Structure 1
Amino acid sequence: MKNYIQSGDTVTAPAPAGGTVSGLLYVIGSLIGVATITAVEGVNVPFKTSGVYELPKTSALAIAVGDAVYWDAANKVVNKTSAGNTLVGYATEAAANPSAVGRFRLNV
């Protein structure tokens, strides 16, 4: 097939304002991905766009398997609040209140 480019599970894009930290989630426009490297703003970074990741969450929040989760860019955590946040995926494991992290499948 002549028009095939790549599988799409990793997409390279410039690091957003403030740069990236390897393993953290970023929303760039409508692109959702986990940075694979730490880089300064503007450097091309491979972002993983699929898979299950352990990510920071709102500590005082219980999350059940299958709950839709959203990225709170201001606080850099996953939560269940859709208003003003970006849908990033679904919980693959329950996360208790309190707990600092949860496991989530990225919404591709």
Structure 2
Amino acid sequence: MKNFIQSGDAVTVPAPANVSSGDGVQIGSLFGVANADAVSGADVVLSTTGIYTLPKTSAQAWTVGATIHWDAENGVATTSADDGGTPATDFLLIGHAVAAAANPSAMGTVRLSI
């Protein structure tokens, strides 16, 4: 197919800030997990599919199949879609929990499905 570019499982974008390998990164409505460290403005490869352990809102219990959103301000995954502001600033849907996570706990397992 002459217009195919790539599968899209990983994309190269300018880092919106300094990022470390494994960090969740949101740029507008695009979310992925950084494959390597990068300084702000440098190219970074983001994986946009797969299952990852991500930092989560500690005071939440997750069940398998729970819808997971990204709180970019705090750099955590959360079951809450509402950030308390206008709908335009609500948390970005990033996927689903694929393992239970206790309250409290610092990390959760998420299948990206955006």
Report TM bin, short chain: over 0.9
Q: Distance in 2 between matches of 1:81 and 1:101?
A: 15
1:53-103 Cα shifts (integer Å, max 9, x gaps): 000001111000000011111211111110121111100111111111010
Q: Which residue of 2 aligns with 1:7?
A: 7
For structure 2, the residue ranges without an aligned partner over 5 or more in a row are: 83-89
Aligned residues: 107
Q: Which residue of 2 aligns with 1:102?
A: 108
Q: Distance in 1 between matches of 2:101 and 2:74?
A: 18
Q: Which residue of 2 aligns with 1:92?
A: 98
Q: How high is the TM-score relative to the length of structure 1?
A: 0.95
Letter in 1 for 2:80: T
Give the percent of matched residue pairs that are identical in Structure 1 and Structure 2.
Answer: 52
Q: How high is the TM-score relative to the length of structure 2?
A: 0.90
Q: Distance in 2 between matches of 1:73 and 1:44?
A: 19
Q: Distance in 1 between matches of 2:103 and 2:29?
A: 29
Q: Which residue of 1 aligns with 2:86?
A: none
The Cα of 1:21 is off from its aligned counterpart by 1.1
The Cα of 1:44 is off from its aligned counterpart by 0.7
Q: Distance in 1 between matches of 2:7 and 2:74?
A: 31
The Cα of 1:2 is off from its aligned counterpart by 1.0
Segments ≥4 residues shifted beyond 3 Å: none
Q: Which residue of 1 aligns with 2:36?
A: 37
